[in-house]
Amino acid sequence: MIEAIETLLMHWGEQLAQNGLGGGLPSAMGTIVEFAGCAPRGGVYGAKLLVAGAGPDYAAAEVNQVLFAIERQEAGAALVRLAYARYRNEPRLTIAEQVDALELGRGEAGRRAYYRQVGVLHERLQTGLLERQGKLAVMRREARRDGERMRKASSQQAGAAHRGRGREFEAAQDGQGAIAAHKARKAAAKAVEADRSSGDSAP
């Protein structure tokens, strides 16, 4: 058993008990199916889930996503049933009742099988969460690189357009150096205007 995962699954169960059954869906797994994974945090306007506090928080939503993936793995459906029996069922079942409901055996053999399953659930959930976080980190890095490439391309495009307008202007002025000459004329005109405004020019 992994203590951090146990705490996270307890939080997941509490979140689903409080917020995961809004909008008339028959079960929390129905929420997962509707959104092809999990409901967005806090719900979405227009979705079946109510927005006013409905839907799991981010941590619980991440658990939902990984459980959905686990369910499709070998023997994964049994692990998801265990997760609901142990962390979500209301009223809460005793260990013996869970062992019986999950058909894991009788007596001490059933309890040992139960705790083995809990250990496997914790390990798979931890692995899935780490994989998701790794993928999200890669996606964020790629998004930053794409953003930098787009900004660089935009800057280059703007520079090329500016140079193109300069060449067109020079062509219209019949030759190279027209831009420099144009700038010189503007500078001279500004200097004359400055002299006039300061009273330094001759009457």
pLDDT mean across residues, the chain: 77
Q: Is the pTM of this model over 0.85?
A: no
Return the pLDDT at 20.
Answer: 65
**Which one is predicted more confidently, 140 or 82?**
82
Strand (E) positions, the chain?
none
Structural contact between residues 79 and 117, judged by C-beta atoms closer than 8 angstroms: yes
Give the separation between CA 189 and CA 181, rounded to whole angstroms. 12
16, burial (CB in 10 Å: exposed 0-12, middle 13-18, buried 19+): buried
Task: Name the band, by pLDDT with cuts 50, 70 and 90, for residue 25.
Answer: very low
Give the separation between CA 28 and CA 56, rounded to whole angstroms. 10
Task: Name the band, by pLDDT with cuts 50, 70 and 90, for residue 154.
Answer: confident
DSSP per position, 118-162: HHHHHHHHHHHHHHHHHHHHHHHHHHHHHHHHHHHHHHHHHHHHH
Return the pLDDT at 179.
Answer: 63
Give the separation between CA 32 and CA 71, rounded to whole angstroms. 11
Q: In terms of Cα–Cα distance, which of 19, 170, 154, 16 is closest to 86?
A: 16
